[in-house]
Amino acid sequence: MKKKGVLIVDDATFVRNKLKKIVAKLDFVEVVGEATNGEEALKLYIDLKPELVIMDLVMPNRDGIQAIEDIVGFDKKANIVVVSAMGQESSIAEAIEKGAKEYIKKPFKDDEVFAIIDRLLK
């Protein structure tokens, strides 16, 4: 069975690394790319066509909201999960409105991430 691709988008290396470790524990998905901002996210999405994007909202250059608009503009069926810190409720609502399917609040637990990946990709 071919593994499903995950693109991780966050400007913080430690967050990307934590998400990579979580994804690595699942046997049906693999990280196919990493981006540090919304601009890179769109380029990688077009090149890699991952089944899932896990994306931070607050990043330099193009933020998560802009990147969601770009990606959904390219692929209406994109599975995007937003990762955000507490206190960003209005941004989360906007992200969902623009096309994100789910959100995870930082600090996140492995089980939360597993459950969302499972729900969106199985």
> Residue ranges per domain, the chain?
4-121
**Residue 53, pLDDT score:** 98
| Position 122 pLDDT exceeds 90 | no
**Residue 28, pLDDT score:** 96
CA nearest neighbour of 6 among 51, 68, 36, 39: 51
Model pLDDT for residues 68-109, shown as the tens digit of each residue? 999 999 999 999 999 988 777 889 999 999 999 999 998 999
Average pLDDT value for residue range 10-14 = 95
CA nearest neighbour of 96 among 59, 55, 60: 55
**pLDDT grade, residue 13 (50/70/90)?**
very high
**Whether the Cβ atoms of residue 4 and residue 117 lie closer than 8 Å to each other:** no
Q: What is the mean pLDDT of the chain?
A: 94
Burial code of 20-59, b = ≥16 C-beta within 10 A, e = fewer?
A: eebbeebeebebbbbbbbbbbbbebbeeeebbbbbbbbeb
pTM, two decimals, is: 0.95
Share of the chain above pLDDT 70, in %: 100
Average pLDDT value for residue range 38-55 = 97
We find that the CATH architecture of domain 4-121 is 3-Layer(aba) Sandwich (3.40)
Q: Tokens for 85?
A: 């810190």
| Position 64 pLDDT exceeds 80 | yes
